[in-house]
Amino acid sequence: MRKSVAIITGANGGMGREITKKVLLAGYETVMACRNIEKSLPICQEIEKETNLKPTLLQLDLASFKSILAFVETIKQKYDRIDLLLNNAGVLSHYLEITEQGVENTIGVNYLGHYLLTRELFPLMGEGTRIVNMISLTYRYGKIDDHFFDVDKIKHFNRFTHYSNSKLAFLYFSLDIAREWKEKGITVNCADPGIVSTNIIRMGNPVIDKLCDIFFRPLIKQPLEGAGTLLYLALSDKVKNSTGNYFKNKKRRKISKKLLLHPQRQLLKEITEEFIQQFTSSIE
């Protein structure tokens, strides 16, 4: 009998490790999709030791379209169906970094990379497949404009601005494919973990980060708690038919109608499709 297959991006991170363990224990053949294999291998071995179950570790750099397409090709050769796609990976760059495609890194990883990955894996999805995308409440402060992918227009880099923009874009994408793929029985939902004690909240200043470790981290969610909503959407029968929704603390939350109907949503779709087509055709 075929085991259900799950793919988890950023599976070596704080929440990623907890997600991987829970998905393995739920009976899924689990793929840890990680950028750095050397750093991820000890974590993979640790998970195997704790669960007595062996995940598959594969290289995936969401900042590289070539890496994404190579990863998808490996998955297609190995599996004929995907039952869970948990887009958990995320970055909050401290300074302006540019991806292979010439895009600011936070937007390139959090949004564009997951966009391409999810669409390329679509042929392996079907009735009952669940997609859960990790979002952040910072989407409320995001903005999409004509120069969303244009690094030449960045005059003063603000890491939180780009993070918020990337999460708004990821939210719009999630809602669009939820509607687009609903008839095929594929569900797509968003999970907001809240503020979680992971490396993403580090500021890059040794003094500030040390003070944060002492005074702030004990007061916020630990990785397993932060992963709770994503795991609920991935594994609970209570939400197996839910799609196109945003959840926080395992409860559905409303998204403002103004944001949903904003012209930037259609603009994002158009400029993303054009951007993806331009780069994937050049790779092929």
Alpha helices (H) along the chain: 14-25, 37-51, 65-78, 105-107, 114-121, 159-181, 206-211, 223-226, 228-235, 257-260, 263-283
Residues with Cβ < 8 Å from 273, sequence gap 6 or more?
Answer: none
Helix axis angle, 14-25 to 228-235, nearest 10°: 30
Closest CA to 178 of 235, 133, 134, 228: 133
d(C-alpha 237, C-alpha 245), whole Å: 15
Residues belonging to the chain: 284
Residues with Cβ < 8 Å from 98, sequence gap 6 or more?
Answer: 104, 105, 151
Q: Are 9 and 60 in contact (CB under 8 A)?
A: yes
Is residue 111 part of the annotated active site? The answer reads no
What is the Cα 48 distance to its own chain's centre?
23
Residue 56 main-chain phi, psi, to 5 deg? -100, 125
- The residues pairing with 245 across neighbouring beta strands, listed in sequence order, are 189
- Kindly name the residue from 79, 115, 139, 163 that is annotated as catalytic: 163
Residues annotated as catalytic are 163
